[in-house]
Amino acid sequence: MQKTLVLVKPDGVKKSLIGEVVARFERRGLKVCALKLMQLTEAQAKAHYAEHAEKPFFGELVDFITSGPVAAMVIGGENAIKAVRTMMGTTNPVDAVPGSIRGDYALSIAENIVHGSDSEESAAKEVSNFFKPDEILF
Ligand code: IDP
Ligand code: MG
């Protein structure tokens, strides 16, 4: 079983989309292995988005992800990393197909509702950045 980190970002939490996002993964047959609401510190946000540190939008990204609570979860299942990414839709929601999370609920690249790990390496790193081993119950 593969595990991946998903965040419902502050825009998704404000729009009351936590349940909608979780329900889509559950209906697909993926498992919620861990789940919590949290307010990221600036340091946690910078660590999470370290790969984007040199990008022009990094400051905006850190400000946005710390602008309110996120719902953090570990989603597990066969090919969970790729399955979640496909269900999220493309990074820019304007290109995301209807039926995907971003394609159904977002228009702005800066506020695109969800984060999902993009590889086995980043999933392992991100899951351990957000959850202690004893918080992952499945
Ligand atoms: P991903 O979330 O689809 O994996 P990444 O390229 O890892 O996309 O970028 C991380 C996040 O940074 C995106 O989800 C998006 O919210 C934001 N982002 C990416 N590119 C831009 C941009 O050009 N301007 C503003 N925000 C961006
Ligand atoms: Mg990414």
pLDDT digits (tens, 9 = 90+) for 78-97: 999 999 999 999 999 999 99
Q: Is 115 a catalytic residue?
A: yes
Say if ligand 1 is within 6 A of residue 92 CB: no
Task: Provide the pLDDT for residue 3.
Answer: 98
**Residues measured by CB to lie within 5 Å of ligand 2, the ion:** 118
Task: Provide the pLDDT for residue 92.
Answer: 98
pLDDT tens for each residue of 49-61: 999 999 999 999 9
Say if ligand 1 is within 6 A of residue 79 CB: no
Confidence of residue 65 (pLDDT cuts 50, 70, 90): very high
| Of 77, 84, 115, 123, catalytic | 115
Q: How far is CA 53 from CA 2, 17, 61, 129, 134, in A?
A: 27, 28, 10, 17, 30
For residue 137, report the distance from its CA to the centre of ligand 2, in Å: 25
Do residues 60 and 1 touch, judged by C-beta distance below 8 A? Answer: no
31-38 and 2-8 beta bridge pairing: unpaired
Task: Provide the pLDDT for residue 76.
Answer: 98
For residue 94, report the distance from its CA to the centre of ligand 1, in Å: 13
> Rounded to an integer, what distance in angstroms lies between the CA atom of residue 52 and that of residue 36?
25
Task: Provide the pLDDT for residue 126.
Answer: 98
The phi and psi torsions of 19 (rounded to 5 degrees) equal: -60, -40
